[in-house]
Amino acid sequence: MAEIKGIFNSLSKMIDTPKQILEKVNEILLQRLTKKDFVSALYGIIDSEKEELTFARAGHCPAILIRNSKIRTFKTSGIGLGLTNSFDFNNHLEEITINLKDDDTLAFYTDGITESKNDKLEDFGEEHFSNILIEHSDKSVNEIADEVIKEVSLFSRSHHQYDDITLIILKWNKKNNSNGV
């Protein structure tokens, strides 16, 4: 993962769009990964002046937007990095832009959250995850993340966690982002 992070860091200094970055990362990983290995990714760029998030998804979990207590899931097309040749990868990769509004909440996550299992081998699930995000969307990003992790931990307390859990929560507030932050 350190190598992959380095690839993204290097390319982000030379390439301007998420789609082009993922295309180049796929090209590099095709030469480095074995046929049974792949990487999922969601890569995005926030333009604070235009108040936009532009992203592309390579086989990763969807991006989630919570606005006015409603959830919208963005499951753009895209194949995992290192799985297929550049032609197929590039033709399946979709880049989209979301116009951000004050108090929007964005969630990016790994399937370790939604695929956490309880003692009956039931998944935590996307619906349960979405409901927690909506219910706590008026709270700070740390409070939302804490709620999600608490609920996943309680749900799966009787079952071994086999997958990593990564969760990134962002809140858009024009006043706080006016300095390009």
Per-residue pLDDT reduced to its tens digit, 130-175 = 999 999 999 999 999 999 999 999 999 988 777 789 999 999 987 7
Nearest alpha-carbon partner for 171 in 140, 149, 145, 148: 140
Residues 28 and 86 both lie in one domain = yes
Residues 133 and 169 both lie in one domain = yes
Which positions ≥6 away from 25 have C-beta within 8 Å? 4, 7, 8, 11, 41, 58, 81
Domain endpoint, select from 68, 100, 132: 100
Query: Which neighbouring-strand residues pair with 55?
Result: 44, 96
Residues 50 and 139 both lie in one domain = no
Residues 82 and 133 both lie in one domain = no
Residue 176 has pLDDT above 70, yes or no: no
The secondary structure of 46-83, three-state, reads: EECCCCEEEEEEEECCCEEEEECCEEEEECCCCCCECC
What total of structural domains would you count in the chain? 2
Domain containing residue 121:
102-174
Residues 48 and 123 both lie in one domain = no
The model's pTM is 0.89
Residues 95 and 114 both lie in one domain = no
Residues 27 and 10 both lie in one domain = yes
Residues 112 and 33 both lie in one domain = no
